[in-house]
Amino acid sequence: MRIATVSERPDLTERAYELTYDTLREYNQHGDVLNRYWGRLTEELPEFQFHLLDDREEILARARALPVRWDGSIDDLPEGIDGAIARGFDEGDANVLCALLVQIPKDLQSRGLSHVAVEGMLELARRHGLTALIAPVRPSWKEYYPLVPIERYAGWRRADGLLFDPWMRVHERLGAAVLKPEPRSLRITGTVAEWEEWTGMTYPESGDYWFRGGLATVAIDRDGNRGSYWEPNVWMRHGTA
């Protein structure tokens, strides 16, 4: 296995997108802030975007990250993934790499490939002299506990002492520490009709609704014709020394 950055192999970008699109639910593709910046990752920072390939050049993972400035304190962490991508593009003096996304094609999941993708990010951080890898981790199993506050969920551990959430655990096994839960990381808003289409649900009246795959509830305002959702994440930090 090896990583190929988008600067080295721009030809893989479209295929990787198609192969992994269905790993995230439709609602997750509509970030208010994230989508404003997302296209610039491959255009302006192709050396930090990569795909994991096997010996036959098959795509095993799609990974996105960007360098950001961070002084190492909890207070100075970006405001979630939205804050991180904005800081990465709008401010200079980047000193750490911020993970944004790892996707494993559905038919290749549960084979331990995700840790290789995170190791790829660590390798890129080192290559560019960045002193840490920080990640607003999207906890995979939070979707089964949408009513539990992220502040509680982020602290859950199994009987063996490791973190409860499988994706957070991948980071932990690679040496990362939990820095802080981020209840408002990724902002997604749309009309009620859009939310109904994205989630395959009907929202007959205003209120907070659970929906399939959501890590928290969506607030539906029928009078204002608005659905508003904040995806929670958990900040974790890997050293690169």
Ligand X SMILES: CC(C)(COP(=O)(O)OP(=O)(O)OC[C@H]1O[C@@H](n2cnc3c(N)ncnc32)[C@H](O)[C@@H]1OP(=O)(O)O)[C@@H](O)C(=O)NCCC(=O)NCCS
Binding site for ligand X (CB under 6 A): 23-24, 101-104, 109-115, 138, 140, 166-167, 169-170, 173
The least CB distance from residue 93 to ligand X, in Å, is 25
The least CB distance from residue 185 to ligand X, in Å, is 11
Local structure of 113: helix, strand or coil = helix
Local structure of 37: helix, strand or coil = helix
What distances in angstroms separate CA 207 from CA 38, 101, 204, one per listed residue? 30, 30, 9
Looking at the Cβ atoms of 31 and 203, the one nearer to ligand X is 31
The least CB distance from residue 231 to ligand X, in Å, is 10
Looking at the Cβ atoms of 93 and 107, the one nearer to ligand X is 107
The least CB distance from residue 62 to ligand X, in Å, is 8
What distances in angstroms separate CA 204 from CA 26, 138, 196, 207, 214, one per listed residue? 20, 29, 10, 9, 19
* Residue pair 50/124 in contact by the 8 Å Cβ criterion: yes
* Residue pair 3/50 in contact by the 8 Å Cβ criterion: yes
Looking at the Cβ atoms of 104 and 192, the one nearer to ligand X is 104
Looking at the Cβ atoms of 65 and 132, the one nearer to ligand X is 65
* Residue pair 219/203 in contact by the 8 Å Cβ criterion: no
